[in-house]
Amino acid sequence: MSDDFPYRIEIVNWRNKESNLRSVRSAVFIAEQNVPEEMEWDSMDQICTHILVQDFEGNSIGTARLLPDGHIGRMAVLKVWRRKGIGAAMLRRILQEMRALGMKKATLHAQLTAVEFYEKFGFQKRGKEFMEAGIPHIIMVLDLS
Ligand SMILES: CC(C)(COP(=O)(O)OP(=O)(O)OC[C@H]1O[C@@H](n2cnc3c(N)ncnc32)[C@H](O)[C@@H]1OP(=O)(O)O)[C@@H](O)C(=O)NCCC(=O)NCCS
């Protein structure tokens, strides 16, 4: 933790932190956004790199995942913790990791309500809007080279 970012942000794996990661995604995607359980949980979690943010009491408050092919997904911050810089810190950490791994391009399926958030990092929209889990999305990409 640091003064300018008073939360713990770390890269974790599914095996060690499954319950922490599940708690955030259950609250945000399943309870808040009504994503069906069977769509939220997939076999990719086991091979993804995950980000976990915890508050000063150790409560899990944010998460995101990176697939081996450069796809970023499941970006979620608990509602009461939004607009405090946590999402930005998670995305910066993922992009840092991707550059360290030599990845050249980041891709994601952005919910339309989050497009402006990703545009702040230089992501650009590609193609047409589409529905995923009952929510309108659009593909966004960022050149890392
Ligand atoms: C999208 C999400 C992860 C952003 O997390 P957050 O912690 O609130 O974001 P931050 O506070 O770090 O915001 C960083 C910047 O983006 C802006 N921003 C955040 N969410 C935004 C939104 N939905 N629309 C426009 N701008 C947004 C902030 O104002 C801030 O701007 P600034 O740097 O000029 O001050 C969070 O809103 C969330 O979990 N939403 C529900 C799940 C979801 O929709 N996930 C996205 C799936 S594609």
What's the confidence (pLDDT) of residue 5? Answer: 81
Residue nearest to atom 30 of ligand 1 (CA): 83
- Pocket flag, ligand 1, residue 64 (CB < 6 Å): no
| Total-model pTM | 0.97
- pLDDT given at position 93: 97
In tens, the pLDDT along 55-64 reads 999 999 999 9
- Is it the case that residue 2 has pLDDT exceeding 90? no
Per-residue exposure over 49-67, b if at least 16 CB sit within 10 Å of its own CB, e if not? bbbbbbbeeeebbbbbbbb
- Cα separation of 7 and 24, whole Å? 15
Indicate the SS3 state at residue 38.
helix
Q: What is the 89 CA–ligand 1 centroid distance (Å)?
A: 11
Residue 60 lies inside a defined structural domain of this protein: yes
Surface-to-core class of residue 97, CB atoms within 10 Å of its CB (0-12 exposed, 13-18 middle, 19+ buried) = middle
Is 130 inside any structural domain?
no
Q: Determine, yes or no, domain membership for 114.
A: no
- Report how many helices (DSSP H) and strands (DSSP E) the chain contains, helices first: 4, 7
20-43 pLDDT per residue, tens: 999 999 999 999 999 999 999 999
**Considering the domain boundaries, does residue 139 fall inside one?**
no
Which residue has better confidence, 1 or 12? 12
Q: Do residues 82 and 61 lie in contact, with contact meaning Cβ atoms separated by under 8 Å?
A: no
CA 82 to centroid of ligand 1, rounded, Å: 7
Residue 1's pLDDT band, with cuts at 50, 70 and 90, is low
Ligand 1 binding pocket includes 116 (Cβ within 6 Å): yes
Average pLDDT over residues 126-140: 97
Instruction: Give the domain CATH number at 30.
Output: 3.40.630.30
Q: Which domain holds residue 90?
A: 8-103
121 part of a folded domain = no
Total structural domains in the chain? 1
| 77 belongs to a structural domain | yes
Please report whether residue 15 resides in a domain.
yes
Residue 90 DSSP one-character state: H
Instruction: Output the pLDDT for position 110.
Output: 98
122 belongs to a structural domain = no
